[in-house]
Amino acid sequence: MSIVIHKEMIQGSEEWFQARCGLLTASEMHLIVTPTLKPASNDKARSHLYELLAQRITQYVEPSYVSASMLRGQED
């Protein structure tokens, strides 16, 4: 397995969501790893696991909230 870099992909685009569909990304690691770097065993970790599994099965990513700060980050 290797890292794939998508240089031309626009963050937040449909193509971007499809590339991330069902994958654990760096921005979600806090949901499954504790501050002591141990695997989390709680409702948030299980919920996130189920969400990723559902994405893999359905190939659909549920729309999520995008704040003004997030939009600014995409533009910058």
**CB–CB of 71/65 below 8 Å?**
no
Domain membership flag for residue 13: no
Domain membership flag for residue 50: yes
CA distances (Å), 18 to each of 11, 41, 43, 45, in order? 11, 28, 26, 22
| Entry pTM | 0.75
Domain membership flag for residue 31: yes
How many structural domains does the chain have? 1
Task: Give the length of the chain.
Answer: 76
Which mean pLDDT values do the consecutive 10-residue runs of the chain (76 residues) have? Answer: 86 89 92 94 95 96 87 82
Q: In terms of residue numbers, what domain contains 32?
A: 25-58
47, 14, 71, 8 alpha-carbon torsion, rounded to 10°: 120
